[in-house]
Structure formats: C-alpha cells, structure tokens
Amino acid sequence: MESQSLLLRDLPHEERPRERMMHYGAEALSHAELLAILLRTGSRQESAIHLAERIMNKAGSIRNLVDLSIDELTQIKGIGNAKAVQLKAGIELGQRLARARMSDTVTIRSPRDAFDVLSKQLRYLQKEHFVCLFLNTKNHIIAQETLSMGSLNASIVHPREVFRAAIKCSSASIVCAHNHPSGDPTPSPEDIALTSRLVEAGQIIGIDVLDHIIIGDGEFVSLKEQGII
C-alpha cells in the first residue's frame, strides 16, 4: 500500500498544487490545495497537502477557517507560529480583496445579473460548486461564498450552512447558484427539492431566497423564472 506521507516533490508533477494552479488557474484548486500553497512545506511525516487537509478537518468549513486564531492554528500538529501567521495573512488579504470588490456595488436586478457575476467562475468547473450571493436591502452584493463542492453530478448543501453564512454577513436576501458540469442547466429533481427547502427555511428565518440559478455552458436556468420559487 502506498505511503500516505509523500512529500509534494514525490507527487506526479501535474498533481502538485503550485503546478496545477499555474496550469489550470486558482479556481480549479480545492481549499486544501490552496492552503498547501500558503503553507509551502509539510514535514518529514506528511506533505503540505495532508497537513492542509487536517486543518480543513479541524475547521470544518472554509468560513470557520477564517475564524481560527493564531493560537488555535498552532494547536494543530505541524503548525508553528510561522505557518499560522502565513495562513492568517493569506486569509486577511483574501478578505480585503473581497471587500474591495464588493465596494464597487454590484446590484442584482434579474437572473441575468447573477449569471453575469458567476458564469465565468462556474461554467468550466468539473465538479458542482454551490455558491451564494448575499444581498442587502437594496439588492447590492455584500458577500459571496462557495458553500459546497460536490461530485460530478451531485452537490450536497444544508440550509443550516447557507443561512448561518447569510446571518453572519447581515444579509437581507440571497441568490443561490450552482453549475452543472455537463453543460446542461436543466434542473434535476434534487435541485428543485433543495430549492424548496431553502425557500422554506428562509421564510422561517426572515431571509428571502430570491432565486436559484443553475449555470451550464454559456446558458442558465432561473428556478424563479421556472415558477419553482
């Protein structure tokens, strides 16, 4: 059985995070791969990828990772002060960039607006990514977050995660979206069932689900326009 403690240099060239990022772009990398690039190195016992995967398991989600303090990070085996500071600096830079982008005030007035914001990010991905746009009372985007990455044909999202993120950024409403790697944006029964659950949960909490957009190859379907919302 192959050892689980391979270093990055032992991995095939195309599987190394830095090389994958240069070849495919940052959006093609998993959370753990991006973390591994920030970490730069692992240890004699495990690669940076395996260390990054343990950090993600500890955090539970990418949003929870943001909230981990330097002290909490250094409690993870293999993370010293230097690596903890590198991670916190990278996360803070990402947050500042996101806030700078949102300050340009993108307004969602129609399903097409949501598609225009997300299509380039989602249309070529090989796995389903479930993304939420969080809006204020004027339908300006105040935040965006990827809440799930599924298999080639399924994305599992729990309303709890969606509305926890919405509440955290004081969102008045949300627009949900995910891609279909097949290129066909036709909603599946699972897509419709998930949308109904999200709408019901939003009604209870008081955060409107304005739409669920399914993005294919250059086209999209709005479940609101389909009469499902």
pLDDT in tens, 173-198: 999 999 998 899 999 999 999 999 99
What letter does residue 61 receive in the DSSP assignment?
A: S
**Which residue in 87, 51, 43 sits closest to 69, CA to CA?**
87
Read off the pLDDT band of 146 (50, 70, 90).
confident
Give the 3-state secondary structure of residue 134.
strand
Residue 20 near residue 33 (C-beta atoms within 8 A): yes
Q: Is the pLDDT of residue 149 over 90?
A: no
Residue 166 one-letter amino acid: A
- Count other C-beta atoms under 10 Å from residue 219's C-beta: 13
The strand order across the sheet containing 208-215 reads 141-149, 129-135, 173-179, 208-215, 220-222
Q: Give pLDDT, residue 66.
A: 74
Q: Give pLDDT, residue 35.
A: 86
Q: Is the pLDDT of residue 156 over 60?
A: yes
Q: Give pLDDT, residue 203.
A: 95
Q: Per-residue pLDDT tens for 105-117?
A: 788 999 999 999 8
Q: Give pLDDT, residue 173.
A: 97
Q: Is the pLDDT of residue 1 over 50?
A: no
Q: Give pLDDT, residue 222.
A: 96
DSSP per-residue letters across 32-43: HHHHHHHH----
**C-alpha span between 45 and 197 (Å, rounded):** 44
Residue 177 near residue 114 (C-beta atoms within 8 A): yes
Read off the pLDDT band of 229 (50, 70, 90).
confident
Give the mean model confidence (pLDDT) for residues 44-73. 82
Q: Give pLDDT, residue 4.
A: 43
Q: Per-residue pLDDT tens for 9-56?
A: 555 544 577 888 887 787 788 888 888 888 888 777 778 888 888 888
**Which residue in 177, 191, 182 sits closest to 118, CA to CA?**
177
Q: List CB contacts of 119: < 8 A, sequence separation 6 or more.
A: 215, 218, 220
**C-alpha span between 176 and 169 (Å, rounded):** 15
Beta bridge partners of 143: 134
Q: Per-residue pLDDT tens for 79-137?
A: 889 888 888 888 888 767 765 555 457 889 999 999 998 988 887 777 889 999 999 99
**Distance from the first to the final alpha carbon of the chain:** 50
